[in-house]
Amino acid sequence: MSSEVNDRIAEDTRPSGEGGDRAQYAVCAFLALLGTAVIVDALGIPHITSGTDPVGPRVVPMILGVLLMVVAVAYAVDVARGGRGEPEAGEDVDLSQGSDWRTVLLLIGAFVVNAVLIERLGWVISGTLLFWGTAFALGNRHYVRNLLIAVTLSLVTFYAFAIGLGVNLPAGVLQGIL
């Protein structure tokens, strides 16, 4: 293998903190919680069995809920023994620094804006906000150029997909104008 590939592997295996990766216990907790939720939900399902369905709708969720809890425990044991998963590497990924939460929160914001506004304002406007907002979140500061790109992209996709190919995209307030 090339030295470059080796460099990358070396980078990946660098432990993220002192000792083990304790954040993994949060995953175990999440799994246990999810297992509980699945079982609670299953208990609320009427237990209906019949000649054509001797199992009923409850059994599989119950099994799944129990398995989730079992796996949560097994995972915790693995973590306690020092097991850890490799964070995913990639061409644009720099794992040598911590996560950039500001960017992620801004992206989520832009995403939610689109989800809330898509039916009211229509895809062309909400999509423009989405692209412009995500480009901004990712650190691009060409405000005017990005706006032009965003508007063009939204208009082109709307005409190509909604009008050309019959894909479901709302026109929103621009109904009748587009």
Partner 1 sequence: MDNLNNLLQGFADVVAPMNLLLALIGVVIGTAVGVLPGIGPAMTVALLLPVTYGMEPVQAFIMFAGIFYGGMYGGSTTSILLNTPGESSSVVTAIEGNKMAKAGRAAQALATAAIGSFVAGTIGTLLLVLVTPFVVDFAVSLGAPDYFALMLLSFIAVTSVLGSSRIRGFVSLLLGLTIGLVGIDSVSGQQRLSLGIPQLADGIDVVVVAVGIFAVGEALWVAAHLRRKPAEVIPVGRPWMGRKDWKRSWKPWLRGTAFGFPFGALPAGGAEIPTFLSYATEKRLTKHPEEFGKGAIEGVAGPEAANNASAAGTLVPMLAIGLPTNATAAVMLAAFQSYGIQPGPLLFDREASLVWVLIASLFVGNLLLLLLNLPLAPAWAKLLQIPRPYLYAGILFFASMGAYAVNAQPLDLFLLLTLGLLGFAMRRFGLPVLPLIVGVILGPRAELQGRRSLQLSGGELSGLLGGPVSYIVYTVVVLVLVWPLVRRFVVRPLRERSA
Pick out residues in 106-165 that bind partner 1 (CB under 8 A).
Answer: 107-108, 110-112, 114-116, 118-119, 123, 127, 130-131, 134-135, 137-140, 149, 153, 157, 161, 164-165
**Residues between 69 and 98 that touch partner 1 (CB under 8 A):** 71, 74-75, 78, 83-88, 90-95, 97
The CA distance from 151 to 133, in Å, is: 12
Task: Give the count of alpha carbons within 13 A of 35, CB side only.
Answer: 17
Partners of 50 in the beta sheet? 53
Q: Is residue 67 a contact point for partner 1 (CB under 8 A)? A: yes
- Give the binding-site size for partner 1 (rule: CB under 8 A): 82
> Between the CA of residue 121 and those of 39, 126, 163, 169, 170, what are the distances in Å?
40, 7, 17, 11, 8
Tell me the closest approach of the beta carbon of residue 177 to partner 1, in angstroms.
Answer: 20
Is 105 or 176 the residue whose CB approaches partner 1 more closely? Answer: 105
Residue that has been written with the tokens 């099994």 in this structure: 63
Shorter beta-carbon distance to partner 1: residue 103 or 173 = 103
Q: Which two tokens stand for residue 77?
A: 């044991």
Binding-residue pattern over the window 40 to 59 for partner 1, x denoting contact by CB under 8 A: -xx--xx-xx-xxxxxxx--
Torsions phi, psi of 50, nearest 5? -150, 175
**Beta carbon of residue 113, minimum distance to partner 1 (angstroms, whole number):** 10
